[in-house]
Amino acid sequence: MKKYNVAIVGTGAVGNKLLEVLEERNFPVGNLKLLATSRSAGKQVEFKGEIYTIEETTPNSFSGVDIALFAGGSASKQFARDAVKAGAVVIDNSSTFRMDPDVPLVVPEVNPEDVTWHKGIIANPNCSTIQMVVALKPLYDAAGIKRVVVATYQAVSGAGAEAIKELERQSRQVLNNENVSPEVFPYQIAFNLLPHLDVFLDNDYTKEEMKMVNETKKILGDDSVAVTATTVRVPVFNGHSEAVNVELKKELSVSEAKELLRKAPGIVVVDDSEKLAYPMPVDADGRDEVFVGRIRKDDTVPYGLNMWVVADNLRKGAATNAVQIAELVIKNL
């Protein structure tokens, strides 16, 4: 099997998960280069039994690299174009290029064909968007979608390793009757909910909410789909959940919807109210599938459905989706 030289830019929660997923999926890695800021340079990381030393990212870091996986953050703006100039295909987890019309925004279960028209950069969608569009795609293909209303319940791991530590620390502080000290989030996250992810925009929606609106349209290739979102940070360590209301363009029964979802790639249906079976973050943790349940009719509109969608945001919402994109890329190289 042909092997490919891979660079991972970023060594935080997503960067570490990228290494884990590459190994689990037996991606054909030739040479591996780990890149990060000067603060992390010199640290050592194990991959497939070998020890690798993290290097500081520079514009010259990408010579000989076939695929550069950017874990997110400001590095994409600084170095993604340098990687492309050096001959690498960039798969980017940040929001930098997602809405660029020259950059495909790809979820392999939804629009794998878009990989073929990249010009050196392929964008990985927002974590909350990824799991939602995986669940929407079979319904969209069968009945069309007029409108989507989504409320998210997003784990702290989506905000990085320091956010995970903050929830751990604050939980101890609350349980020990100590003063709570917010650092990563603007307010206490332990035993609390924050209806605020990313910055507020002029329309009073947050950037996270508008990511879901705009990215969904681009991935589905349909600007007519109306999407509105409320995104909420919850005191869960890992695994995003979403309450998704879908208004279809034509009739689709609950049983038909369940069957379509069961047959769709990357989806596990967990839906049995009599047995109290429904998706939960603890079940999705460490898994690559999108879990869908609580599928039921919404009688307030002619063709409405409600469903509950859960996924591991560090895996399917970031690292796994990026590696799946890389797998599509090497099929076309």
Closest CA to 296 of 252, 235, 233, 236: 252
Give 228: exposed, middle or buried? Use CB within 10 Å, 0-12, 13-18, 19+. Answer: middle
Q: Which residue has the tokens 């890389």?
A: 326
pLDDT attached to residue 244: 98
The contacts of residue 332 (CB under 8 Å, 6+ apart) are: 115, 116
pLDDT surpassing 90 at residue 219: yes
pLDDT tens, position by position, 268-298: 999 999 999 999 999 999 999 999 999 999 9
Average pLDDT over residues 189-196: 98
The contacts of residue 24 (CB under 8 Å, 6+ apart) are: none
Same domain, 115 and 185: no
The pLDDT-based confidence of 11 (bands split at 50, 70, 90) is confident
d(C-alpha 232, C-alpha 240), whole Å: 10
The pLDDT-based confidence of 328 (bands split at 50, 70, 90) is very high
The pLDDT-based confidence of 73 (bands split at 50, 70, 90) is confident
Using a pLDDT cut of 70, give the percent of the chain over it: 100
The pLDDT-based confidence of 13 (bands split at 50, 70, 90) is confident
The verdict on whether 196 is a catalytic residue reads no
pLDDT attached to residue 154: 98
pLDDT surpassing 80 at residue 53: yes
Same domain, 323 and 181: no
Catalytic member of 14, 45, 105, 127: 127
The pLDDT-based confidence of 248 (bands split at 50, 70, 90) is very high
Q: What is the number of domains present in the chain?
A: 2
Same domain, 109 and 195: no
The verdict on whether 45 is a catalytic residue reads no
CATH number for 32: 3.40.50.720
Same domain, 59 and 203: no
Same domain, 137 and 191: yes
Catalytic member of 118, 137, 233, 240: 240
Domain residues for the domain of 58 are: 4-124+318-332
